[in-house]
Amino acid sequence: MHVRRRAGQHACGAGLLPSQRQDVAVPALPAENQDQSRREKHRHHHRRSLPLIQPWEDGRAPSRSFTEAPPVYNLHDLKIKGGCLGCLQCAYDNRCVYGDSDDFHLFFESRIKAADIIFYCMETRDRYLSSLWKRFIDRSFYNNHTPVLEGKQIGCLVSGPLGKLSSFNEFLRCFPEFQHANLVDIVTDEGGNSKVLDLQIQNLASNAVARAEKNYIGPQTFQSVGGWKIFRDEIWSWLRFPFLADHRYYKKHGMYDFPKRRFTQSLVNGALSQMVRFPGFREVVYKQRMKDEMLRPFKTILKQ
């Protein structure tokens, strides 16, 4: 999904400030530079910034460096009835089985998708995300395998030893790229120096606004390029059904950029795609047969 961009002024006359490097201590700036940096006001006239926060155990919340305070949302205040059920009923038209029975769908559509800048603020739990954050991310799967955060600027504020958690670190760095968004930076409190941490958070906010004004998206790496090629190939072939919503998106956005000569798979997918238009057939497939068909390849192993 493309995000509408509106004209705006540059966020900071100094341009992009230095950001935190992974597993590298960031030295404090000289006193005169710190004073000048604190005097700079981060403007976001036409940018919607959205810090999404799960509070830390001691009640603290990460600092915000915008002159006009952006909205802050606490996951504990959202009514999220449960996690993703894996039922794949959303695969046809991106409609979650939960519907509007809780706050998640409306919040994601009206807040997350509408924002230009998003800050995810979290604390490590058991070497990974907390269960609440995991539930929030899993529920976004109603969008299936489409880059719904495309064009957005994303920053992460993490409390905990992220430098020692390689899998969690990799997830935070790959997720925005896979979404065709831009990861501005990841700031953690591992250093233990409050002044340096304040400066890093200030730089994160300034860089996010400056890059949003320029519509900057960093170059893709192997993780996203390889990942999208895998999904492209699978959605074109055997996963087109049941993921018809993905297929429509990929076809509309020109993501099938390779020779298409798998005639048998095309015929099967074409027939099923037409049959699923009938509500009765769709009811049987998505609500009655889907889980059984997903487990069928494993039944022989499970019986043993």
Q: Give 40-58 pLDDT, tens digit per residue.
A: 444 444 456 666 665 544 4
Name the helix (H) or strand (E) containing 273: helix 263-275
Domain 31-213 fold is: Rossmann fold (3.40.50)
Give yes or no for residue 298 having a pLDDT over 70: yes
User: For 80-132, what is each residue's pLDDT tens digit?
Assistant: 999 999 999 999 999 999 999 999 999 999 999 999 999 999 999 999 999 99
pLDDT of residue 13: 28
* Residue 229 in this model has a pLDDT that exceeds 90: yes
Closest CA to 258 of 240, 235, 233: 233
- Segment 196-221 mean pLDDT: 93
Domain residue extents for the chain: 31-213, 222-303
CA 192 vs. chain centroid, Å, equals 28
pTM: 0.70
Confidence of residue 157 (pLDDT cuts 50, 70, 90): very high
217: pLDDT strictly greater than 90: yes
> Between 275 and 110, where is the model more confident?
110
Identify the sign of the CA torsion 83, 99, 141, 172.
negative
Per 3-state DSSP, the chain is made up of helix, strand and coil in percentages (nearest 5) of 45, 10, 45
Q: Residue 26 pLDDT more than 90? A: no
Q: What is the mean pLDDT of residues 197-209?
A: 92
Residue scoring higher pLDDT (200 or 192)? 200
Instruction: Find the mean pLDDT for residues 145-156.
Output: 96
Among 54-58, 169-173, 214-218, name the one with the lowest average pLDDT: 54-58
Higher pLDDT, 247 or 38: 247
Percentage of the residues of the chain whose pLDDT score is greater than 90: 57
Residues 95, 89: contact at Cβ < 8 Å? yes
For residue 166, pLDDT beyond 50: yes
Asked if residue 74 has pLDDT above 70, the reply is yes
In this predicted structure, which of 63-67, 148-152, 197-201 has the lowest mean pLDDT? 63-67
CB within 8 A of 6, min separation 6: which ones? 46
> Residue 37's pLDDT is what?
41
Q: Cα–Cα distance between 287 and 295 in angstroms, integer?
A: 14
* pLDDT score for 273: 81
Least confidently predicted of 40-44, 234-238, 263-267: 40-44
What is the average pLDDT value for the chain, to the nearest integer? 80
